[in-house]
Amino acid sequence: MTLTRRNLLRGSLKAVGAAAGVTAGAGLLSSVAGERSLIGSSFAAAPSAAVQTAGVYRFTVGTLEVTALLDGYFDADPSLVPEFDRQVVDQLYQAQFRDLPGEKVRIGVNCFVINTGDKLVLVDSGTADKYGPTMGRLPENLRAAGIAPESIDAILITHMHIDHISGISSIDGKALFPNAELIVHKADWDYWHDDGAMAKVSKTMQDISLHSRAMALPYKKRLTLIEKDGEILPGIEAMALPGHTPGHTGFLLRSAGQEVLIWGDVIHFTALQFARPDWRVVFDTDMDQAEQTRRRMLDRVAADRVAVLGSHLDFPGLGHVAREGDNFRYIPSTWQYQV
């Protein structure tokens, strides 16, 4: 017999069929089909779980272990982006095989825990109950990750907006991380605590100020204010990224020749702002400066091939940035099999 691909396949089917108690490939297929039918008729269909798995993902940066934790998501109104162009948005979403949730744009909120070997460090704390039922999942995802609030030694806040600081204290004014030092950039602290500056801004911004002050108050005796770039904890360096807020801060992780930049809110919309870095958000304290910072950081991480972690990038928020003409493209990192 001439050895062909068809003969090999026929021989393989016969061999498998013999092992299964049938005499030919067609018989095997019939047997399998019959068995499927038997299974289908013997057992009821399993109900849908209707819930996602825990929002937890671990990876390493040299000797540092990072745990990404999902606080949840919210659907933002297009009015949040002054330059919003529906035709451009539709094109970008279609090109990326995404679906828009109705007329709104979905934004995730991520937090991170860094294990330096000596300390457990939380970066941002999510929204608690301030943005509705799809948010405030940090406590349950900390539990799923096996991290007790009492074990957190320090909390780094990229900036004092509601979706970053609301998870550090309870509504009745108790620290939810009782052993943690709170670390915030001095420019951000001073801005949100400046009554004169707050008198000149909108009611929404005034409410953010009052809320941020209340959340930070339980940590007043364990407060460190950053005033310059540089190492603040082993393997963690502060980096000023102003514009979104005056003291908006990134945290560069360095270990064993590896680097990852936690860049807070440099990007809010994963599907949009890499291709359109000129698109700002209304919560930028200084929109022009925020855009300049965004372009500078996109250019830097693309040129240096530094991985980024974003508070609002699609969970787990880890990826790289590539230049694409005058703009950029986001490449999510692949699953890290071992930590």
Question: Could you tell me if 96 and 14 lie in one domain?
Answer: no
Q: Which residue has the tokens 């490939």?
A: 25
Q: Are 113 and 145 in contact (CB under 8 A)?
A: yes
In this prediction, residues 229-249 reach a mean pLDDT of 98
Confidence of residue 99 (pLDDT cuts 50, 70, 90): confident
Residues 6 or more apart in contact with residue 215 via CB below 8 angstroms: 160, 165, 166, 168, 169
Q: How many domains in the chain?
A: 2
Question: Could you tell me if 64 and 35 lie in one domain?
Answer: no
CATH number at residue 144: 3.60.15.10
- Rounded CA Rg of the chain: 25
Q: Are 191 and 246 in contact (CB under 8 A)?
A: yes
How many CB atoms are closer than 10 A to CB 116? 18
Residue at 48 is within a domain: no
Closest CA to 16 of 5, 3, 31, 37: 31
Question: Could you tell me if 29 and 89 lie in one domain?
Answer: no
Question: Could you tell me if 150 and 116 lie in one domain?
Answer: yes
**Beta bridge partners of residue 318, listed in sequence order:** 309
Residue at 281 is within a domain: yes
Residue 305 has pLDDT above 50, yes or no: yes
Residue 122 has pLDDT above 50, yes or no: yes
Question: Could you tell me if 117 and 88 lie in one domain?
Answer: yes
Question: Could you tell me if 69 and 142 lie in one domain?
Answer: yes
- According to the model, what pLDDT value does residue 48 have? 85
Structure tokens, 175? 């620290």
Exposure string over 117-144, b if 16+ CB within 10 A, otherwise e: eebbbbbbbbbbebbeeebbbbbebbee
Question: Could you tell me if 17 and 113 lie in one domain?
Answer: no
> CA 224 to CA 323: how far, in whole Å?
37
- Is the preceding omega at residue 316 within 30 degrees of 0, hence cis? yes
Confidence of residue 101 (pLDDT cuts 50, 70, 90): confident
In this prediction, residues 264-274 reach a mean pLDDT of 97
Domain that holds residue 89: 56-332
- According to the model, what pLDDT value does residue 132 have? 87
Residue at 22 is within a domain: yes
- DSSP-derived secondary structure letter, 305: T
User: Quick one: what percent of the chain has pLDDT higher than 70?
Assistant: 87
In this prediction, residues 158-173 reach a mean pLDDT of 97
Look at residue 64 and give its three-state secondary structure: strand
Residue at 338 is within a domain: no
Question: Could you tell me if 80 and 23 lie in one domain?
Answer: no
Closest CA to 317 of 61, 54, 70, 65: 70
Residue 247 has pLDDT above 70, yes or no: yes
Question: Could you tell me if 14 and 146 lie in one domain?
Answer: no
Residue at 187 is within a domain: yes
Residues 6 or more apart in contact with residue 159 via CB below 8 angstroms: 185, 188, 244, 245, 247, 248, 249, 264, 265
Q: In what order do the strands lie in the sheet with 318-324?
A: 230-233, 236-240, 249-255, 258-262, 307-309, 318-324, 327-332
Question: Could you tell me if 161 and 228 lie in one domain?
Answer: yes
Residue at 49 is within a domain: no
Question: Could you tell me if 10 and 92 lie in one domain?
Answer: no
Residue at 110 is within a domain: yes
Residue at 51 is within a domain: no
Question: Could you tell me if 161 and 28 lie in one domain?
Answer: no
